[in-house]
Structure 1
Amino acid sequence: MKVLHPDWEYVADGVMGGVSRGQAGQAQVADRAAMHLTGTVSTDNGGGFIQMAFDLAEDAGGWTGLELDVYGNDERYDLRLRTTRLTRAWQSFRTEFVATAAWTTIKVPFDTLEAYRTDAIFDASELRRVGVVAVGREFAVDVAVSGVRLY
């Protein structure tokens, strides 16, 4: 297992004209230091997402998956991974998870990721970006991540 130390950043649909609002920052969430994404997703004006994401500096080749410690508001979120093969902003490898109101470790085997709008095959050695995304429907966002690991 390899513990990652992500440098999270906040991204919203405003980059595409959307009007979703939120923020991401370090916080104490249920007695743990975590990156905390909060806000509201709006599908108005062609929008529909907010996210926190980080660029991966480590080589994930040789690892079989990603593990995250998550806490939330019992809503569904996406985990979206991007590799160097993906050339368009809308392309990703993804899966969904529910962030429950208790700290939970989710394990995501790389071979279970779904390719979205790409014919590329996922190659862990090409992994370059990881995002936790609130997307696709109007809802209040409240999700935190306290740990990220390759396994």
Structure 2
Amino acid sequence: MTMTLKTGAMIGFLTVAAGEARADLWIETFDADAQQRWSYVQDGVMGGVSEGDLTFEEADGASFARLKGRVSTDNNGGFIQFRAGIRGGLPSETAGLRLRVKGNGESYYVFIRTTDRKRPWHSYRASFTATEDWRVVDLDLASFTASHAELPQTFTPENITGIGFVAYGRDFDADLLVSDLGLVMAQ
């Protein structure tokens, strides 16, 4: 099965049920109806010329989201992404995000949006490399940095309103596969 999204606004939300927090909690496995929770956005919304798409695929018994395209910094551009809203924030015990990813060896970002955001482009950001083989990457929330001086330098998990996977900031061909998104809980 392949489902493709070329453009979109925020169309869905992830929800973490209270009391379900544990170290191996996967909050998204990109299976049933993932296209209703995740949307594709590119820099064309601001005049940029990056191009790509988001597909939801299955291979070897695994479901995953695939962000593929060409990132261009021409015309003040420089990103393609897929993102979802978070209803009610994350549990206060959340110490980080756990990703199962694969890709073309490039660096990608996770952007976190919070209630502190004053502009649509404000976020907290952390990078990771997507290798040619599936691997698990843990990103401590403390490692995320504010995109702009207007944002507080830190945030709390309860204030998270959205998560995005982003190919960003330089001219390159993007090919990012994400099969799972989870939480790392404080011990």
Alignment of 1:112-127 (within 5 A): 112-117=143-148, 118-120=150-152, 121-127=154-160
Q: Quick check: 1:40 aligned with 2:73?
A: no
Q: TM-score, normalised by structure 1?
A: 0.93
- Does residue 19 (structure 1) correspond to residue 17 (structure 2)? The answer is no
1:68 corresponds, among 93, 96, 99, to: 99
Whether the 8 Å contact between 1:29 and 1:144 is mirrored in structure 2 is no
Whether contact under 8 Å (2:88, 2:158) holds in the other structure is no
* Structure 1 residue identity aligned to 2:167: A
Letter in 1 for 2:166: V
The amino acid across from 1:110 in the alignment is: L
Q: Larger Cα Rg: Structure 1 or Structure 2?
A: 2
Map 1:37-116; keep pairs closer than 5 Å.
Answer: 37-60=67-90, 61-116=92-147
Structure 1 runs, 4 residues or longer, greater than 3 Å off = none
1:142 aligns with 2:175: yes
Over the aligned positions, Cα root-mean-square deviation in angstroms equals 1.5
Quote the sequence identity (%).
36
Higher relative contact order (CA 8 A, sep 6+): 1
Q: Shift of the alpha carbon at 1:59?
A: 3.2
Q: State whether residues 114 and 162 of structure 2, in contact with CA within 8 Å, keep that contact through their aligned partners in structure 1.
A: yes
Name the amino acid aligned to 1:143.
Answer: L
* Deviations, residues 62-83 of structure 1 (Å, cap 9, x unaligned): 2111111011000011111010
Aligned to 2:26: 3
> Take 1:12 and 1:115, find their aligned partners in 2: how far apart are those partners?
20
Q: Is the counterpart of residue 131 in structure 1 residue 164 in structure 2?
A: yes
Q: Which has the higher strand share?
A: 1
* Count of residue correspondences: 151
Distance in 1 between residues matched to 2:173 and 2:59, nearest whole Å: 17
Cα distance, 1:27 vs structure 2:
1.1
Whole-angstrom distance in 2 between the partners of 1:30 and 1:39: 23
